């Protein structure tokens, strides 16, 4: 008879690894973690391109649709590892856009769960990472805008103040003092508790802790999952891999950030590529350029770009693009990021070779994670979907794993988080309830 695990977790990125850790702490004894590559990395590779490089001739051959969204640069000359932001704002241009969908109490719930997710991630990183002083940087975040949008940003600040979200208003003088004058930003919101992290190392540390406890087993470099279903008797889940292997468990968590080939999620997720470029940086700091060597996170009002100075690089993210299982076009899109950086900060060495990277994730129509089961009879729990700030929100989601799977009760805060992230919020009944508010 085929062995049946207590829980199988598909995906060992930040979310899946954290779910494994929290389940192991809750006393679950037989957890199997599956990953297509290594925890926090997936099937991925890093390349170096020069300025104005066209689409690489061999790029189609190296196209890997499941490159992990948790991945970072390789470190050293290959780019900074401590790059993934842990920030607390919802992924919307303005908070009223979020409130239109979830109400102002939904905004308040999100801000609180993101804060809790951030604090939990920082706490676990301090406990589990081998060198947390280098792998985590809690230097804060600064949202910036140009002069013509300062009024919009000020409105955002006033809403955040009413919601008791800790932040500071920065005028032009203060923004330039911290950020430099070259980019032309004139107003900002400062969040002093935000951080960034080496998310690949963090995911690996979480899985290793779960394995060391005796509760979990890790299988790396597995074939892709092609199907997952609750079996006929209704008391088990069967996962089918691309090589034909079938694995059974009492319950399963699907935590693959690039997940979109699943009938339960049809129409809910859009696959996207996320691109990274790291431009060599040797500037001493403002007034001409950014604070060095380890500046805050910077991101624009509207979230078109985010960036930071780390390990002698300016790491720039953006150019997120619908994938549709097409070529990533990484050379072209990372090249656009590089040009954006050189235009914003002309003191950088224009045209110098720079490391690039990309990963794949999936995004929902409301930019929120999908968490939970599609119906009351399902033994499949999803923790998928991402936003630019998923390190905080998905950390909060992963901490729900023991309660979602029935190993303990929800706390009141967790119940509110589960409702906000619920997979069923896209159902007709949920849509009707929101329209009647």
pTM over 0.85, yes/no: yes
pLDDT of residue 263: 81
Domain final residue pick, 343, 362, 381: 362
**Pair (35, 64) in one structural domain:** no
**Pair (330, 407) in one structural domain:** no
Tell me: pLDDT of 58 over 70: no
More confident: 60 or 344: 344
List of residues 6+ apart from 197 with CB closer than 8 A? 82, 84, 86, 121, 125, 135, 136, 137, 391
pLDDT of residue 49: 44
**Pair (153, 16) in one structural domain:** no
Helix (H) or strand (E) holding 160: helix 150-162
- When divided into structural domains, the chain yields a total of 2
Whether residue 229 is contained in a domain is answered as yes
Q: What is the band of 51 on the pLDDT scale with cuts at 50, 70, 90?
A: very low
* Nearest of 144, 127, 124 to residue 22 by alpha carbon: 124
**Pair (186, 226) in one structural domain:** no
d(CA 371, CA 398): 9
Whether residue 114 is contained in a domain is answered as no
Report percent pLDDT > 90 for the chain: 58
- DSSP string computed for 393-406: HHHHHHTTHHHHTT
Arithmetic mean of pLDDT, 25-37 = 95
**Pair (244, 376) in one structural domain:** yes
**Pair (236, 210) in one structural domain:** yes
Tell me: pLDDT of 56 over 70: no
Instruction: Tell me the β-bridge partners of 279.
Output: 314
pLDDT of residue 361: 83
Strands 225-230 and 47-49: unpaired
CATH number of domain containing 215: 3.50.50.60
Q: What is the band of 379 on the pLDDT scale with cuts at 50, 70, 90?
A: very high
**Pair (160, 148) in one structural domain:** yes
Indicate the average pLDDT of the chain: 87
Helix (H) or strand (E) holding 26: none
Whether residue 120 is contained in a domain is answered as no
Whether residue 239 is contained in a domain is answered as yes
Domain final residue pick, 308, 342, 362: 362
Domain span holding position 186: 50-100+136-195+274-362
Pick from 19-28, 205-214, 279-288: least confident: 279-288
**Pair (278, 322) in one structural domain:** yes
Whether residue 222 is contained in a domain is answered as yes
Pick from 379-388, 395-404, 421-430: least confident: 421-430
CATH number of domain containing 291: 3.30.9
Pick from 39-48, 93-102, 257-266, 300-309: least confident: 39-48
Domain final residue pick, 362, 378, 409: 362
Q: Tell me the pLDDT tens digit for each residue of 68-101.
A: 777 789 899 999 999 988 998 887 878 999 999 9
């Amino acid at each position: 008879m085929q062995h049946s695990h207590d829980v199988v977790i598909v995906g060992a990125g930040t979310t899946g690894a954290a779910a494994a850790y929290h389940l192991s702490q809750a006393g679950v004894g037989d957890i199997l973690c599956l990953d297509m590559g290594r925890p926090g990395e997936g099937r991925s590779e890093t390349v170096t391109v020069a300025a104005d490089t066209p689409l690489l001739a061999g790029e189609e051959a190296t196209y890997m649709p499941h490159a992990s969204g948790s991945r970072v640069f390789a470190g050293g000359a290959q780019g900074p590892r401590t790059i993934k932001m842990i920030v607390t704002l919802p992924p919307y241009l303005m908070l009223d856009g979020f409130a239109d969908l979830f109400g102002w109490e939904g905004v308040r719930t999100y801000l609180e769960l993101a804060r809790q997710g951030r604090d939990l991630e920082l706490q676990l990183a301090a406990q589990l990472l081998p060198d947390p002083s280098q792998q985590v940087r809690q230097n804060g975040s600064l949202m910036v805008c140009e002069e013509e949008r300062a009024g919009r940003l000020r409105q955002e600040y006033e809403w955040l103040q009413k919601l008791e979200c800790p932040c500071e208003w920065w005028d032009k003088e203060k923004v330039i003092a911290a950020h430099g004058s070259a980019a032309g930003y004139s107003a900002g919101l400062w969040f002093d508790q935000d951080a960034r992290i080496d998310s690949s190392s963090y995911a690996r540390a979480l899985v290793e802790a779960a394995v060391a406890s005796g509760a979990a087993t890790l299988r790396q470099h597995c074939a892709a999952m092609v199907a997952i279903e609750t079996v006929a008797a209704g008391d088990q889940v069967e996962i089918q891999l691309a090589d034909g292997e079938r694995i059974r468990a009492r319950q399963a968590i699907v935590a693959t950030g690039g997940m979109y080939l699943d009938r339960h999620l049809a129409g809910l997720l859009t696959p996207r590529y996320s691109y990274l470029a790291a431009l060599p940086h040797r500037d001493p700091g403002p007034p001409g350029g950014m604070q060095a060597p380890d500046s805050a996170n910077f991101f624009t009002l509207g979230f078109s770009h985010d960036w930071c100075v780390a390990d002698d690089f300016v790491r720039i993210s953006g150019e997120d693009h619908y994938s549709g299982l097409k070529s990533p076009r990484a050379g072209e899109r990372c090249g656009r990021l590089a040009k954006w950086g050189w235009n914003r900060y002309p003191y950088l060495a224009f045209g110098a070779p720079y490391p690039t990277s990309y990963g794949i994730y999936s995004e929902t129509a409301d930019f929120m994670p999908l968490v939970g089961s599609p119906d009351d009879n399902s033994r499949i729990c999803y923790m998928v979907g991402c936003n630019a700030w998923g390190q905080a929100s998905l950390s909060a989601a992963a901490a729900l794993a023991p309660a979602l799977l029935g190993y303990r009760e929800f706390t009141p805060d967790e119940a509110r988080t589960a409702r906000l992230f619920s997979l069923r919020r896209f159902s007709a009944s949920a849509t009707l309830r929101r329209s009647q508010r």
